Structure 1
């Protein structure tokens, strides 16, 4: 049987996890600002990068970002002006549009996340296989707890 961890040890580990999350968030904020994008613009491009064909309809952006139709339209206009997305008519429905990330946006987002991945990989490479196994187990348990904490 695995010995229980003292509450103060658990809090210390969770404090380090929070510190990591803040550091990652700060790094992404610096990257976003260096690209001259708002939080929503960056989040929209990140969302598009996760979609099939790197495309989505504006309504999907409204739902994902939780902002108004007018705000999404203004954001799409700006991203289009800066060459980061293009609008396309949806086949079979001339009134509907889809937005797609451009090669510029794909390159910017890939560079941002590759930099973060490289930094993390370099850190992980300094760990032993045993340490990696423990971290993996911890992250799995914490992720399961968080995913199960909020009803869908």
Structure 2
């Protein structure tokens, strides 16, 4: 089992590196994969507190602040004080942030589609269902 575990890990890491590199190249370094994840989460919630982001990304709030600084400088998010708790900072995606996120998701889907096109349609379905099973995700039909 150790051999299959190592092979799986190596293949997964190679896929991650390659797909992230492809996304960065297509996006022309407008945004990094961690920033995409952060922007996705912010947009999904319609805005959130910095502490929520830190918890979701499993990092310290100071690390999130640095990333938010970069996103804000690029015009992808805005910060404001929570009206209920003035100590809390809320972050929201701007229209430019939503646009770059949409583009990143589109590019990601095209890249993953390219990799999946190397498989037969049935193999792609089986691979997807096996990953869903490994992650405890209910398969979509």
Band of TM-score, shorter chain: 0.5 to 0.7
The within-5 A match list for 1:93-112 is 93-112=85-104
Is the CA contact 1:32–1:39 (under 8 Å) kept in the aligned structure 2? no
What CA RMSD, in Å, does the superposition of the two structures yield over aligned residues?
3.4
Task: Calculate the TM-score normalised by the size of structure 2.
Answer: 0.67
1:46 and 2:43 are equivalent in the alignment: no
Instruction: Tell me how far 1:23 sits from its aligned partner.
Output: 2.6
Alignment length (residue pairs): 132
| Unaligned runs of at least 5 residues, structure 1 | 1-9
Quick check: 2:75–2:96 contact (8 Å CA) kept in 1? yes
Considering Cα pairs closer than 8 Å and 6+ residues apart, tell me whether 1 or 2 has the greater RCO. 2
Deviation at 1:108, TM superposition (A): 1.1
Is the counterpart of residue 91 in structure 1 residue 83 in structure 2?
Answer: yes
Helix, strand or coil for the counterpart of 1:95? coil
Structure 2, gaps ≥5 residues long = 137-141
SS of the counterpart of 1:91?
A: coil
Distance 1:38 1:133, change over 3 A: closer
Q: What's the counterpart of residue 137 of structure 1?
A: 126
Output one character per residue of 1:92-142: Cα deviation in whole Å (capped at 9) or x when no partner.
222222101111111112112212324555776898xxx424421232123
Larger Rg: 1
